[in-house]
């Protein structure tokens, strides 16, 4: 019989949140850490995904999410570091939605977030300044076919802080792409959101284990204040 040195997929009865808490409680887990210059990348803070009072596609995890995002974005501006806001939107005929837009076609569907619509608009609770970078993306990652990479190179950024939603979708995609491009990647817990707790905590766990430092938002605040 061959000895097993790896791991067969396990189901030990823990919830996704319990697994997350256990991973976060491991003091031996090495961090990527903060570098010298960072950018705040705020992913898809648009009405389609934030206004739970308007749209079925919206979701909320931490009620103070946008407040936290506004706070760390203000600290970045004060330090002369870039603040970026992305959102999803498509042409009237959805010809720029690609295969991603072919799965459903209802008023709530992804490809029916039209340019200039209320679903495309940023949530008015977001404190977006004229000098912040804003762009519309068409795929999950904020890096895909957008000016983000060039912007980060211009500002000599070595660290990105990724906020927004969904944790399991566009936040995860952006964080993985950030690490793949050589950036130290930080995901503040309270600044992310998803529809289901299991999606949210499972993806934060996976990000922490592989692609990012998942930290309380207070650690980002402390980094700025300690400079």
Judged by DSSP in three states, 98 sits in coil
Judged by DSSP in three states, 165 sits in strand
User: Could you read off the pLDDT of 37-61 as tens digits, one per residue?
Assistant: 999 999 999 999 999 999 999 999 9
Residue ranges with strand state E in 53-190: 83-88, 133-137, 159-165, 184-188
pLDDT value at position 47? 98
> What is the rounded radius of gyration, in angstroms, for the C-alpha atoms of the chain?
18
pLDDT value at position 1? 62
Q: Lowest mean pLDDT: which of 1-15, 84-98, 164-178? A: 1-15
Which carries the bigger pLDDT value, residue 30 or residue 156? Answer: 156
Place of tokens 């961090």: 31
pLDDT value at position 29? 80
CA 35 distance to own-chain centroid: 19
Q: Are 87 and 44 in contact (CB under 8 A)?
A: yes
Residue ranges with strand state E in 138-217: 159-165, 184-188, 192-193, 213-215
The Cα 81–Cα 132 span in angstroms is 10
pLDDT value at position 111? 92
pLDDT for 2 beyond 80: no
pLDDT for 170 beyond 70: yes
Please report, for the chain, the start and end positions of each structural domain, with discontinuous segments joined by +. Answer: 35-225
pLDDT value at position 165? 97
What pTM, to 2 d.p., does this model score?
Answer: 0.95
pLDDT value at position 10? 86
Total residues belonging to the chain: 227
Q: Are 91 and 85 in contact (CB under 8 A)?
A: no
CATH classification for the domain delimited by 35-225, as one of 3.40.50.850, 3.50.50.60, 3.20.20.70, 2.60.40.1930: 3.40.50.850
The Cα 161–Cα 88 span in angstroms is 19
How many other CB atoms are found less than 10 A from the CB of residue 24? 16
Averaged pLDDT for residues 127-139: 97
């Amino acid at each position: 019989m061959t000895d097993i040195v790896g791991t067969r997929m396990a189901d030990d009865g823990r919830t996704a949140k319990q697994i997350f808490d256990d991973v976060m409680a491991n003091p031996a887990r090495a961090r990527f850490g903060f570098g010298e210059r960072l950018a705040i990348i705020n992913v898809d803070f648009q009405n389609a995904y934030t206004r739970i009072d308007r749209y079925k596609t919206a979701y909320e995890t931490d009620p103070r999410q946008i407040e936290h995002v506004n706070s760390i974005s203000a600290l970045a501006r004060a330090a002369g570091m870039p603040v970026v806001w992305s959102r999803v939107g498509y042409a009237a005929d959805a010809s720029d939605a690609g295969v991603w837009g072919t799965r459903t076609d209802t008023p709530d569907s992804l490809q029916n977030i039209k340019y200039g619509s209320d679903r495309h608009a940023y949530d008015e609770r977001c404190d977006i300044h004229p000098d912040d970078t804003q762009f519309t993306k068409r795929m999950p990652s904020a890096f895909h076919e957008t000016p983000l990479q060039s912007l980060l190179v211009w500002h000599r950024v070595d660290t990105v802080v990724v906020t927004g939603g969904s944790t399991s979708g566009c936040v995860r995609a952006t964080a993985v792409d950030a690490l793949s491009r050589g950036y130290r990647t930080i995901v503040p817990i309270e600044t992310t959101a998803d529809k289901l707790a299991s999606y949210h905590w499972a993806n934060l766990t996976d990000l922490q284990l592989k692609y990012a430092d998942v930290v309380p938002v207070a650690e980002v605040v402390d980094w700025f204040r300690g400079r």
